[in-house]
Amino acid sequence: MGFSLTHLIILLVIVLVVFGAGRVPSVMRDVAKGIKAFRDGLKDEGQ
């Protein structure tokens, strides 16, 4: 069960409507930082 191109386009439109085009880069930056912190936490836990 994966995402198709249609699902990704609909998701992008919803994000643009909710956050506005100006805030999308900062929101994506925050999401990327969260993912990186999560991965680092998993890596530290495994040692």
Average pLDDT over residues 36-42: 91
pLDDT value of position 46 = 66
- DSSP characters for 21-44? TTTHHHHHHHHHHHHHHHHHHHHH
On whether the pTM is more than 0.85, the answer is no
Which candidate, 40, 47, 11, places its Cα nearest to that of 28?
11
Domain ranges within the chain, ordered by starting residue: 5-46
pLDDT value of position 47 = 65
Q: What is the pLDDT of residues 1-14, one digit of tens each?
A: 577 889 988 988 88
CA angle 12, 15, 21 (to 5 degrees): 95
